[in-house]
Chain A
Amino acid sequence: EVHLLESGGGLVQPGGSLRLSCVASGFTFSNYVMSWVRQAPGKGLEWVSGISGSGDSKYYADSVKGRFIISRDNSKNTLFVQMNSLRAEDTAIYYCAKRVTAGKAYYFDYWGQGILVTVSS
């Protein structure tokens, strides 16, 4: 059974940093693109970042480019995102998601339970 478990969230001041982790199990982690998707309070889903199975290719939404860094440790089946220069608008639940690639179709078949990040003074 696939399981994704996020950790590392919490309260941080504007301008501060936070590192989220997501431990995966139940599938061959290194074979899959992994992503972070966030959801601001009462709002919809927003794709944030993705990383290839090898970790060589990384992708970011414009809203976080230059501030967030995605990475992975395939030996530990763990996905990370280093979030720097945090802003109030980064306040959200952050989900780790496993991405399926099927031809030109890309979608998320498993999600973690999410972790809350609050940016406030």
Chain B
Amino acid sequence: SYELFQPLSVSVALGQTASLTCGGSDIGTKNVHWYQQKPGQAPVLVIYRDNNRPSGIPERFSGSNSGNTATLTISRAQGGDEADYYCQVWDTSGVFGGGTKLTVL
């Protein structure tokens, strides 16, 4: 079965840029989606189809996908961006990465 790999944690200084990666075999050939989950809350879709933002998601959130790595980039990081972030693809079923905890210092 297909697997996605995410670093357990990423830290970023306030106002700087955070890059969260999601690794998978030839993931560049798949559509990658990203979710933000804050403590005690349901996940929220922040990027779909590699690099598209749903309405209401700030332009500071962007995505890319190539080769074996997809990346969620958060520019001008804010305290409110602290959360767990999950990447997701569809193989024969839904597949989620293990999640990355983003800390804004």
Contacts and interface: CB of A to CB of B under 8 A. Distances in A.
Taking each of B33, B42, B90, B95, which has the highest tally of chain A beta carbons within 10 Å of its own beta carbon? B42
Interface residues of A, number: 23
Nearest to A60: B93
Contacts of B94: 35, 37, 47, 50, 106, 108
Contact of A45 (B31, B44, B54, B96): B96
Interface in A68-121: 95, 100, 102-109, 111-114
A26 interface: no
Contacts of A102: 48-49
Interface string B20-47: 0000000000010101010001111100
Given A106-B94, A109-B54, A44 B44 contact: no
B43 to A, nearest CB: 6
A27 interface: no
Interface of B: 31, 33, 35, 37, 41-45, 48-49, 54, 84, 86, 88, 90, 93-99
